[in-house]
Amino acid sequence: MPDQVSAAPDRGTLRLALVVGGLVLAVLLGFGLGRLNTGAATGAGAPSLAADHTDPPGSAPHNHGAMLSGDHGAGAEPGGLSVSSAGYTLAPLATEFPAGRPGQLRFQVRDAQRRPVTRFAVVHDKPMHLIVVRRDLTGYQHLHPSMASDGTWSVPLTLAEPGVWRAYADFTAVADNGGQTAVTLGVDLVAPGAYQPRALPGAATSTTVDGFTVGYQGSPQVGATVPLTFRIDGAGGAAPLERYLGAYGHLVALREGDLGYLHVHPEPELADGQVTFWVTVPGPGRYRLFLDFQVRAEVHTAEFTLTVP
């Protein structure tokens, strides 16, 4: 009788199969649990970490948070540090002005092909916001130029004292395809003469201007977006703030040293008569804050020095 081969595996073979199967099952379960944990951490409503995030002009104030990659852990770098950025260049027709005498600043914004840009989005009621300040952070001006058909902007300008001044063009350009790019470009202007820089005032959270007492609460810190809440009081209590350029206030922060520019807009409505801004500072140092607000159709500017450790 020929030898017969049993169909049942011996005990050693069965033990090996069980061990291998257990290992495979453990790997599959671990992978599945990992996927579940990742989903719980991000979820359908979790914020995207995509780098190319752009908000439409006039968006309500909100917090993008700190960047999570690269070398800018504190958030985006300030604007106005360069005459060219994002394919656009600020081209003034002249950069020298006699100190203390009225003049006219004229400039163009040119695209990557050096063509004058003539299409701009209206943001906060204006297509162009021009900030001018001396390099010791005195003489602040917030101006709104007008544009000719050839793309040349012009605005009356007086540089009150000799020195080097910084002009910031804050705008949103509209490309031929309809795309919009928000840019802040900066250029130096010169008023010849003996320059006597002023020391920056000490840090303070309260000041007075034109009979108003202006104070704020909040402590900006590197790497976080935090609220600064301003209260403006007149002789009879809280001042009746009015909308100026579509908002209850405008806040510009300039960093001492390189004069990096931050332009922050407030919550759309007042809370207990106060106006709140969400501020992200790009790094430690001293900053000069300029708060524009309007009462009884007149615009006032309160100034503060802020030290960020």
CATH code: domain 206-308 is 2.60.40.1930
Which of 143, 139, 121 is CA-nearest to residue 131?
A: 143
Regarding beta strands 146-147 and 88-92, do their DSSP bridges make them parallel or antiparallel, or are they unpaired? unpaired
Domains 84-191 and 206-308 belong to one CATH topology: yes
The pLDDT score that the predictor gives to residue 76 is 59
Is the pLDDT score of 53 beyond 50? no
Q: Which residue has the tokens 């453990």?
A: 26
Q: Is 34 exposed, middle or buried (0-12, 13-18, 19+ CB in 10 A)?
A: exposed
pLDDT in tens, 176-196: 999 999 999 999 999 999 999
Comparison of pLDDT for 62 and 241, the residue scoring more? 241
How is residue 125 written in tokens? 């009621």
Percent pLDDT > 70 in the chain is 75
Is the pLDDT score of 71 beyond 50? no
The domain ranges of the chain are 84-191, 206-308
Helix (H, G, I), strand (E, B) or coil at 16: helix
pLDDT in tens, 252-290: 999 999 999 998 879 999 999 999 999 999 999 999 999
Does this model's pTM top 0.75? My answer is yes
The topology under which CATH files domain 84-191 is Immunoglobulin-like (2.60.40)
Report the alpha-carbon distance of residue 249 to residue 271 in Å, rounded.
13
Report the alpha-carbon distance of residue 178 to residue 104 in Å, rounded.
31
